[in-house]
Amino acid sequence: MTLLLIDIGNTRVKWARLVDGKMSPQQAAANAGWTAADYARRVIGRGWTSGARLASRSAAAPADVPVDVDEHAGAWAGDRIVVSSVAGDEVNGALTEAAAKAGAPTPEFVASERSAAGVTTDYIDPWRLGVDRFVAAIGAHHLSSGQPVCVVNIGTAMTVDLIDGSGRHRGGAIVPGPALMVSSLLTQTNGIRLRATGGPAGATGMFAKSTRNAIGEGARYAAAGVIDRALEEARILVGTRPLVILSGGGSVDIKPLIRSTCVSLPDLVLHGLAVWAHQTPPTVRQTPATGRPETAGTRHPKTAARTQGRQTSRKRRPVV
């Protein structure tokens, strides 16, 4: 069985293949302006023909009618493409088109739910929780061996989420990422922009000696300060200091400033997708409203609201 795991963020797409329980190294690229052909060439790849035929036949067959499968004829029956995307319909449509052109299985777009793969969220409206945060919580919970865990993703935005030892997502915070903090100062304040342009950089540290460094270091320390404060609040909620897992492209610059011990896991969302896929059966159907493929876990907000609390999942160790 092959799983193609794809995480589409605000500025980059990350992906890896899970083949017979072994995950390949994560690949990543900035995907601004990509077409379906780009996704097909860069991410989807080749060799999916048999799997595509199977997916098509499975989708067309009634739910109670089994589909005969010769697992030795090309792709394995379990081949799937599982996606976490916050990029919107246009990008998701391009990826779906790319899979069709490549003869690959129809992508399954995961959506946030009340409960899935061992994690239950306290979010008032679960569908409003970013799917990347939900999937990262699943991955973190299954990797933390039942310990409380704080997941920090540092990218365009910085998110901090707390998952207790039982898999309960206690909520989280969203703040601008360090790069966005810097950008907002440079674009919204004339005086700072002028003083930050050119001139010596000087030494780094909290108390910088140039405006250019004062902006950059201020953003880094601000991000680290939010994380340290979040851990204090988390300790009060769960009774112990949680494990901290860092992910996202901006985490490398922030990790040295965090006072608590942290574990870096850049492909945390892909780990979460792997866990979700192994606990969620592959079902594909067409949505009457859009005609786009809808899969297990990809529900319209109104549908999700009707099904909140119904799904239960048993905990399983990741297969990576």
Give the residue numbers annotated as catalytic, written as ranges: 132
Residues 6+ apart with CB under 8 A from 189: none
User: Quick one: angle between helices 131-143 and 268-279, nearest 10?
Assistant: 80
CA dist 2 and 142 (Å) reads 21
The two most distant CA atoms of the chain are separated, in Å, by 71
What's the one-letter identity of residue 303? T
Q: What single DSSP character describes residue 242?
A: P
Task: State how far the alpha carbon of 310 is from the alpha carbons of 116, 117, 227, in Å.
Answer: 10, 13, 33
DSSP labels for 5-40?
Answer: EEEE-SSEEEEEEEETTEEPPPEEEE-TT--HHHHI
Closest CA to 264 of 292, 287, 239, 243: 243
Task: State how far the alpha carbon of 297 is from the alpha carbons of 54, 135, 246, 280, in Å.
Answer: 20, 11, 26, 8
Q: Are strands 119-121 and 115-116 parallel, antiparallel or unpaired?
A: antiparallel
DSSP labels for 99-139?
Answer: HHHTTPPPPEE----SEETTEEE--SSGGGS-HHHHHHHHH
CA dist 10 and 251 (Å) reads 16
DSSP labels for 159-221?
Answer: EEEEE-TTSEEEEEEEEE-HHHHHHHHHHH-HHHHHHHSSS-----SSS-SSHHHHHHHHHHH
